[in-house]
Chains A and B, each alone.
Chain A
């Protein structure tokens, strides 16, 4: 499959545990944030988004938390499964323009 990052930080979790992936963003004016999942050999896949007027948003098994004070975003995955193994990227954007992506975190789920 495609290599999306040879030197990415890696998070290893046991199947069934909860995972927390963190992201620091750079632009205090960013008003929209997205988390993407990228599996080997595939393009990024949308997971969940959040606007800057919110600090928490929940999806199916995933929760995104936004802390604008410290410009920090996190993705929480509940009951992590082997199929969750992938590289996770956060993206920040301002006024829906010119989205910038973080370098990514590799999630490794151990059975």
Chain B
């Protein structure tokens, strides 16, 4: 059974650009959550999608957005990139809604560097 796949693994962008990251959940999982991980702030919740609908949202500016497709694959987009957006972006997939028990699995993340 394939795990959670995030692409690309590494990305370098320039300030002001926009970026799209992709997450393919484990087959059969319908919930995808996104997190930002930085050395200073740790893991911070961005948003969660379930059945193509955003169910929860963290405290990030509107430059951060996401969507989920009918096959449960999810993308997150960051517009007008800032240096502070440099981070490891992780997605987690689970069967149900919410980060529940053993059902949640994380991908390896996309390392975004903004220069």
Q: Mark A94-105, 1 if CB is under 8 A from B, else 0.
A: 011111111110
Q: Which residues of B contact A34 (CB under 8 A)?
A: 99, 101, 104
Distance in Å: Cβ of B37 to nearest Cβ of chain A: 6
Interface contact B108-A44, CB-CB below 8 Å: no
CB of B32 within 8 A of chain A?
no
Count class of interface residues, chain B = 20 to 34
- Contacts A44-B90, A46-B105 known; A101 to B42 CB distance under 8 Å? yes
- Contacts A4-B37, A101-B44 known; A44 to B106 CB distance under 8 Å? yes
Distance in Å: Cβ of A94 to nearest Cβ of chain B: 10
Count class of interface residues, chain A = 20 to 34
Question: Which chain B residues numbered 4 to 61 have a C-beta less than 8 Å away from chain A?
Answer: 4, 35, 37, 39, 42-45, 56, 58
Interface contact B101-A44, CB-CB below 8 Å: no
Interface contact A43-B102, CB-CB below 8 Å: no
Interface contact A43-B39, CB-CB below 8 Å: no
Measured between alpha carbons, how far is A95 from B97 in the docked complex, in Å? Answer: 11
Interface contact A43-B58, CB-CB below 8 Å: no
20 contacts between A and B (CB under 8 A): A4-B37, A4-B39, A4-B88, A34-B99, A34-B101, A36-B106, A43-B90, A43-B92, A43-B106, A44-B43, A46-B102, A49-B101, A89-B42, A93-B98, A96-B98, A100-B45, A101-B35, A102-B42, A103-B42, A104-B42
Q: Chain B interface (Cβ within 8 Å of chain A)?
A: 4, 35, 37, 39, 42-45, 56, 58, 88, 90, 92, 97-102, 104-109, 111
